[in-house]
Amino acid sequence: MYRYFFRFVVTTLTILIANLLTTAIGDYMISYKNHMRPVIFTLIAMGIIVIIFYPLFTKMEEWVKTLSVRMIRSGKSLAGKYMGLTLIFVAGLLVLLYFYAKMWYHIDLAKALFNGTIGGYL
């Protein structure tokens, strides 16, 4: 049971991190599209995407798994095996929530939380 939950956590975090990175890099590249001819820009952008994302996708799951194992070891000692994994998963989702909200809506959730205005976004 724990192995399946661990695999779910790693896969979920990997998907969200990879999507966040691909969207951010894609948006950055699109900002330069008016500086070149459309077909040339498209070919260059496709090449850059492959050069950046191929190694990223091949290593991303390994990196997330390694980071998760380290965090789970520290979480296990504090809250137990399942609770530690759950806490790490929730913490990872909260960090990703911050970056997604910042990217999609230009909302600084940390600032909203400390200012007490987080309720307006929920």
pLDDT of amino acid 77: 66
Query: In the structure encoding, which two tokens stand for residue 122, read together?
Result: 């929920």
Single out the residue of 25, 77, 65, 66 nearest to residue 46, CA to CA: 25
Q: How far apart are CA 56 and CA 63, in angstroms?
A: 10
* pLDDT one-digit tens code per residue, 103-119: 989 999 999 888 888 88
Report whether pLDDT(73) > 80. Answer: no
Q: How far apart are CA 25 and CA 21, in angstroms?
A: 6
Q: Could you state, in order of their start, the residue ranges of all structural domains in the chain?
A: 2-121
pLDDT of amino acid 54: 81
Q: From residue 103, give the alpha-carbon distance in Å to each of 51, 56, 70.
A: 23, 20, 28
Q: What is the pTM of this model?
A: 0.70
> Cβ neighbours of residue 49 under 8 Å, at least 6 residues apart?
25, 26, 29
pLDDT of amino acid 78: 65
* pLDDT one-digit tens code per residue, 6-59: 778 878 887 888 888 888 888 888 888 888 888 888 888 888 878 877 887 777
